[in-house]
C-alpha cells in the first residue's frame, strides 16, 4: 500500500474546504486531524473491500467482546501503514506540529482495563498476520467515565469521546438489525465499521461496533399533546443500551441494562454472521462450524450461546439436538478470571423479564445438562448441584457453566491461571471435559507499546538488530549479546531518562507536582481492585513516611511513586483506597522533611494516552496481586518490553516473565499459591501479623485515628475493618495484604541498592527487554488461530 505525499496534501486541502470551509493554514489541530484521517480512510477503501471478499471465501474467526480499549487511532494507523514519517514531513513543511494533531484525537475509551486492551491488541495482531478475523462489540457513546479527583475522591464524569465524531468509523445503515427483548420492546442495532490496519500489509480487518437506536424516533401524537418526555421515551430507552460502558448495576434497573447490552450486541452479531453465511453458502447449517468460529471474550458475551440456539431452532427450524451440536462446535470460551464473584451470574426472574424466550432456552439447556450429569455421575448429587447451570436454591444462572458446556474449547490466559482453573476453580469441568481445556498466555502488540510509545528505544533496537522484531518479537533475543556493552547500556539509560523527562513534564502539567527524574519511578497503573493490592503499595509508602519522620537521618534512595487507576462507580472500598492514596500524597508531597526523598503521584483519568508515556518511563513495574488471583496481566508485559523489572508476586504471567528474563533480573516477594493454601489450612489471624510486623500496627491505626481524613465517609474505617474484622462476604484480610507486607517491604527496599548500581540496573532492564519476545499478542493470536480457530492467513 503506497501513499503519495502530494495525494495526502490534496485530500487534506479538499476535506478542510468541504467540511470546515477553511484553507490549509487556517485549520485547527482537530480539523487537520479529522481531514487527514478522512483522507487516509478514502485511500483504504479498495483494500478493505478486497480483504472482506477474500476472507469470506473460507473459514473465519469472530471475536465477541464487551470492551475494546482502542486508544487513539491516528498515529498508530499511520505507523502501521508506513506513512507516519511522510505525513510528519508534510505537516512540518506546513509549519504544523504532528504531536498537536495527534493530541486532538479523543481516546476511544471503550474498555476498562486489561480485558478491553487485550481485545484491541488481538484484533491488531490478526490484521498484521493477515488472519480472517472480525471483532464485534458495542459502540458506546460514553466510554469508561472521565475520572476527576475532587478533594481526593474519585468523581465520575461522562467521557463523550464521540462529541466531535469519529473519522475512523463508517455507519452502515443498510446492514442494521432489529433486536427483540421482551414482547414489548425492540430496538435497532446500527453497525459502525472501523478498519483495523495491520503493520505493512495490504489487508484491512474490521471491527464492527453496534449502536442502539429506536425503531420510532418520536411519538408525534404525544409530542403534540405536549407530553414531551413520553414522546421521546422509546428513543431514550433504546439509546441507553449503547450509551455508557458498564453502567452501575447495584440496582435491578442497572442489572437489566447490563443484560440488555450483552444480548443486544451478541444477537446483532450473530444475526449478521448468519445472514452472511446464508448469502454465501445457503441454509445447510451443519456446515456452520466448518466456516465459523466465535471466541467469547470472558462471560459478558455468553448469552450468545442460547441466542444462537434461538436463531437455529425458532428462526431456521432446526431440531434441538442438531442445533446444539452446531452451537457446541462453533463457540470457544476464554476465561479471564479466577475470582468466583467475577464469573457472571444472573437471577432467573431478571432474565425471565428481559429475555423470556432466551430464559426458556436456558432452562432446556440446564435440563439437558442435568441429564448428562445424572448419566455420568449417578451417585454424586453434590457434584451435580455444583455444576448445575441454574442453581435451584439461589435461583442464579451461571453464565460460565453455559460457556463451558456450549463451547468446544475453554482457555485460560497464563500457565498458572490455566493450572488453577483445571486443578481447583473449574476442576469439576476439567474432569468432565479435559480435552476442551487449553492455555493461551496473553500478549500485547509491540507496534503500539514499543514502536509507537518508545520511538527512542525502538530506534536503538533497530540500529542493533534491524526491524524484524516489529513483526517477530522473538528477534529481541539478539539484544542479549550487548549485555556487557557499556556504551549500549549507557545509551539505554539515557533513553530512559528522556522518557522520564517526558513523563515528568506531563505530571507537572496535569497535577502541578514536580518530580525528580533521577529518582526511582515506581509505577502501579491498572484497574483499582482489592486483589491488585494498591493498598499494599500505599501502606508501604505510609510506613516509609513514618520511618523518615521518626528518624530523618535514615538513608532513602529518592523515589517517585506513580499510581493510575479507576474504581468501578459502585465499588465503595476501591474508592476508599483512591481517597487514601490521595490523602497520603497530599501529606507526603507537602512535607519539606521528605521533599527530596519521596513523592506520590496519582495520575487522574488513567487511560491509553498517558499509558503510552508511563510504560516507557517506568523503572519498576508493580505487579503485586495476591498469588492465584490475577489471571495474567498485560501491563506487566508492556513494562517488561520497555525495560522495567517487575516487583511482584508469582502470579499470572509474572511467573512466565521470571522464567524468560530470570529471577535475578526481577524482584519477587510474598506467598505463592501453595503457601496461601497451607496458611488457610493452619488458620490465619491478621491481627497477630499486624502486631508482630514492625510499623504495621501504626499504619493500620492511622486509618482510623484521624491522621488521614476520609471526609466523614467512613471509608477508612471500612478498609480497616475489612482487613482485621472481615465482612459478611469474606474473611479478614481476604487478599493477605498484612501477611505479605513484611516481605514486600524487604524486597522493595533491596531495589534501592540495585538501582544505585547504574550499569547493574541497566543489565537487569536489558535482560527484560531481550526476553520479552514471548509476550507479543502475535504469538498468542498465532496459537488461537492454529489450535482453536483453525484459520490461516490470507493476503490480498
Query: Active-site residue numbers?
Result: 336, 526-527, 532, 634, 638
Radius of gyration of the chain measured on its C-alpha atoms:
27
Q: Could you give the CA distance from residue 448 to residue 471 in angstroms, rounded to a whole number? A: 12
Q: Mind giving me the DSSP string for 261-285?
A: HHHHHHHHHHHHHHHHHHHHHTT-G
Task: Tell me the backbone φ, ψ of residue 68, rounded to 5 degrees.
Answer: -145, 100
Grid cell, residue 420, equals 488453577
Longest dimension (CA), the chain: 82
Grid cell, residue 372, equals 448428562
Burial of 440-477, coded b for 16+ CB within 10 Å and e otherwise, reads bbbbbbbbbbbbbbbeebbebbeebbeeebbbebebbb
Helix (H), strand (E) counts: the chain: 34, 23
Q: How many Cα neighbours within 13 Å face the side chain of 154?
A: 29
Q: Are the C-beta atoms of 67 and 111 separated by less than 8 Å?
A: yes
Closest to 272 (Cα-Cα) out of 125, 172, 182: 172
Q: Are the C-beta atoms of 213 and 234 separated by less than 8 Å?
A: no
Q: For the purposes of burial, counting CB atoms within 10 Å of the CB of 587, is it exposed (0-12), middle (13-18) or buried (19 or more)?
A: middle
Q: Could you give the CA distance from residue 393 to residue 390 in angstroms, rounded to a whole number? A: 9
Q: Could you give the CA distance from residue 84 to residue 73 in angstroms, rounded to a whole number? A: 12
* Number of Cβ atoms within 10 Å of the Cβ of 250: 12
Q: How many Cα neighbours within 13 Å face the side chain of 313?
A: 19
Burial of 113-147, coded b for 16+ CB within 10 Å and e otherwise, reads bbbbbbbbbbbbbbbbbbbbbbbbbbbbbbbbbbb
Q: Are the C-beta atoms of 34 and 19 separated by less than 8 Å?
A: yes
Grid cell, residue 459, equals 530506534
Closest to 130 (Cα-Cα) out of 787, 781, 783: 781
Q: Are the C-beta atoms of 737 and 700 separated by less than 8 Å?
A: no
Q: Which residues pair with 186 in a beta bridge?
A: 180
Q: Are the C-beta atoms of 293 and 62 separated by less than 8 Å?
A: yes
Closest to 412 (Cα-Cα) out of 437, 387, 432: 437
Closest to 106 (Cα-Cα) out of 63, 158, 170, 177: 158
Q: Which residues pair with 213 in a beta bridge?
A: 188
Question: Hey, CA dihedral for 667, 672, 675, 681, is it positive or negative?
Answer: positive
CA 9 vs CA 79, 87, 90, 164, 386: distances in Å: 18, 9, 8, 22, 64
Closest to 241 (Cα-Cα) out of 392, 115, 138: 138
Pure H helices in 56-113: 74-81, 84-93, 98-103
Torsion on CA atoms 708, 735, 394, 306, rounded to nearest 10: 110
Q: For the purposes of burial, counting CB atoms within 10 Å of the CB of 517, is it exposed (0-12), middle (13-18) or buried (19 or more)?
A: middle
Grid cell, residue 176, equals 442494521
Q: Could you give the CA distance from residue 192 to residue 176 in angstroms, rounded to a whole number? A: 10
Q: Could you give the CA distance from residue 407 to residue 789 in angstroms, rounded to a whole number? A: 12
Chain centroid, CA 725 distance in Å: 33
Residues 6+ apart with CB under 8 A from 17: 23
Amino acid at each position: 500500500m503506497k501513499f503519495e505525499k502530494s495525494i495526502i496534501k490534496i485530500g487534506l486541502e479538499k476535506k478542510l474546504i468541504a467540511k470546515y470551509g477553511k484553507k490549509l493554514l487556517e485549520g485547527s489541530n482537530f480539523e487537520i486531524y479529522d481531514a487527514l484521517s478522512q483522507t487516509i480512510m478514502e485511500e483504504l477503501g479498495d483494500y478493505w473491500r478486497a480483504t472482506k471478499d477474500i476472507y469470506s471465501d473460507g473459514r473465519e474467526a469472530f471475536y465477541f467482546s464487551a470492551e475494546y480499549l482502542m486508544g487513539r487511532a491516528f498515529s498508530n494507523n499511520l505507523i502501521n501503514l508506513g506513512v507516519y514519517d511522510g505525513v510528519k514531513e508534510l505537516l512540518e513543511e506546513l509549519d504544523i506540529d504532528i504531536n498537536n494533531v495527534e493530541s486532538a484525537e479523543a481516546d476511544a475509551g471503550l474498555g476498562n482495563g486489561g480485558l478491553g486492551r487485550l481485545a484491541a491488541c488481538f484484533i491488531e495482531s490478526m490484521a498484521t498476520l493477515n488472519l480472517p478475523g472480525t471483532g464485534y462489540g458495542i459502540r458506546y457513546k460514553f466510554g469508561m467515565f472521565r475520572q476527576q479527583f475532587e478533594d481526593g475522591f474519585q468523581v465520575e464524569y461522562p467521557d463523550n469521546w464521540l462529541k466531535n465524531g469519529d473519522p475512523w468509523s463508517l455507519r452502515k445503515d443498510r446492514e442494521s438489525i432489529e433486536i427483540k427483548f421482551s414482547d414489548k420492546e425492540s430496538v435497532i442495532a446500527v453497525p459502525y465499521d472501523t478498519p483495523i490496519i495491520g503493520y505493512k500489509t495490504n489487508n484491512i480487518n474490521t471491527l464492527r461496533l453496534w449502536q442502539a437506536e429506536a425503531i420510532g424516533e418520536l411519538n408525534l401524537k404525544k409530542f403534540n399533546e405536549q407530553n414531551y418526555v413520553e414522546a421521546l421515551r422509546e428513543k431514550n430507552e433504546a439509546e441507553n443500551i449503547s450509551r455508557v460502558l458498564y453502567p452501575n448495576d447495584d440496582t435491578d434497573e442497572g442489572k437489566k441494562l447490563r443484560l440488555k447490552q450483552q444480548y443486544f450486541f451478541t444477537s446483532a452479531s450473530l444475526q449478521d454472521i448468519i445472514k452472511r453465511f446464508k448469502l454465501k453458502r445457503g441454509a445447510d447449517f451443519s456446515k456452520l462450524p466448518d466456516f465459523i468460529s466465535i471466541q467469547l471474550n470472558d462471560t459478558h458475551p455468553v448469552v450468545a450461546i442460547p441466542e444462537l440456539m434461538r436463531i437455529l431452532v425458532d428462526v431456521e427450524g432446526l431440531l434441538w439436538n442438531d442445533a446444539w451440536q452446531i452451537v457446541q462446535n462453533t463457540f470457544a470460551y476464554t476465561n479471564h478470571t479466577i475470582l468466583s464473584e467475577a464469573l457472571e451470574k444472573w437471577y432467573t426472574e431478571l432474565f425471565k423479564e428481559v429475555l423470556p424466550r432466551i430464559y426458556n432456552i436456558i432452562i432446556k439447556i440446564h435440563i439437558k445438562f442435568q441429564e448428562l450429569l445424572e448419566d455420568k455421575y449417578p451417585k454424586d448429587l453434590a457434584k451435580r448441584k455444583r455444576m448445575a447451570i441454574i442453581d435451584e436454591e439461589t435461583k442464579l444462572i451461571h453464565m460460565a457453566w453455559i460457556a463451558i458446556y456450549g463451547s468446544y474449547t475453554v482457555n485460560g490466559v497464563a500457565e498458572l491461571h490455566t493450572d488453577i482453573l483445571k486443578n481447583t476453580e473449574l476442576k469439576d469441568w476439567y474432569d468432565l471435559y479435559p480435552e476442551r481445556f487449553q492455555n493461551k498466555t496473553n500478549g500485547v502488540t509491540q507496534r503500539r507499546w514499543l514502536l509507537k510509545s518508545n520511538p527512542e528505544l525502538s530506534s536503538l533496537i533497530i540500529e542493533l538488530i534491524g526491524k524484524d522484531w516489529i513483526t517477530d518479537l522473538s528477534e529481541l533475543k539478539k539484544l542479549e549479546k550487548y549485555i556487557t556493552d557499556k556504551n549500549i547500556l549507557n545509551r539505554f539509560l539515557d533513553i530512559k531518562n528522556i522518557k522520564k523527562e517526558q513523563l515528568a513534564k506531563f505530571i507537572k502539567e496535569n497535577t502541578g507536582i514536580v518530580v525528580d527524574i533521577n529518582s526511582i519511578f515506581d509505577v502501579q497503573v491498572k484497574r483499582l481492585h482489592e486483589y491488585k493490592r494498591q493498598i499494599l503499595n500505599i501502606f508501604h509508602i505510609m510506613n516509609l513516611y513514618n520511618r523518615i519522620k521518626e528518624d530523618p537521618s535514615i538513608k532513602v534512595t529518592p523515589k517517585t511513586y506513580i499510581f493510575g487507576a479507576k474504581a468501578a462507580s459502585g465499588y465503595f472500598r476501591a474508592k476508599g483506597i483512591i481517597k487514601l492514596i490521595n490523602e497520603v500524597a497530599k501529606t507526603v508531597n507537602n512535607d519539606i522533611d521528605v521533599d527530596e526523598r519521596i513523592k506520590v503521584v496519582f495520575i487522574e483519568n488513567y487511560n491509553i494516552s498517558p499509558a503510552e508515556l508511563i510504560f516507557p518511563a517506568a523503572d519498576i513495574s508493580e505487579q503485586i496481586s495476591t498469588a492465584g488471583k490475577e489471571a495474567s496481566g498485560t501491563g506487566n508485559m508492556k513494562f517488561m518490553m520497555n525495560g522495567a523489572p517487575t516487583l511482584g508476586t508469582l502470579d499470572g504471567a509474572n511467573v512466565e516473565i521470571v522464567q524468560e528474563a530470570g529471577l535475578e533480573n526481577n524482584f519477587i516477594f510474598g506467598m505463592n499459591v501453595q503457601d496461601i493454601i497451607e496458611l488457610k489450612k493452619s488458620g490465619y489471624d491478621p491481627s497477630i501479623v499486624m502486631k508482630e510486623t514492625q510499623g504495621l500496627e501504626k499504619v493500620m491505626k492511622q486509618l482510623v485515628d484521624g491522621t488521614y481524613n476520609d471526609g466523614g465517609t467512613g471509608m477508612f474505617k471500612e478498609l480497616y475493618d475489612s482487613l482485621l474484622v472481615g465482612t459478611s462476604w469474606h474473611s479478614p484480610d481476604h487478599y493477605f495484604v498484612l501477611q505479605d507486607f513484611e516481605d514486600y517491604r524487604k524486597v522493595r527496599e533491596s531495589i534501592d541498592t540495585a538501582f544505585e548500581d547504574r550499569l547493574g540496573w541497566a543489565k537487569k532492564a536489558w535482560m527484560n527487554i531481550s526476553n520479552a519476545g514471548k509476550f507479543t499478542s502475535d504469538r498468542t493470536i498465532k496459537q488461537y488461530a492454529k489450535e482453536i480457530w483453525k484459520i490461516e492467513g490470507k493476503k490480498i
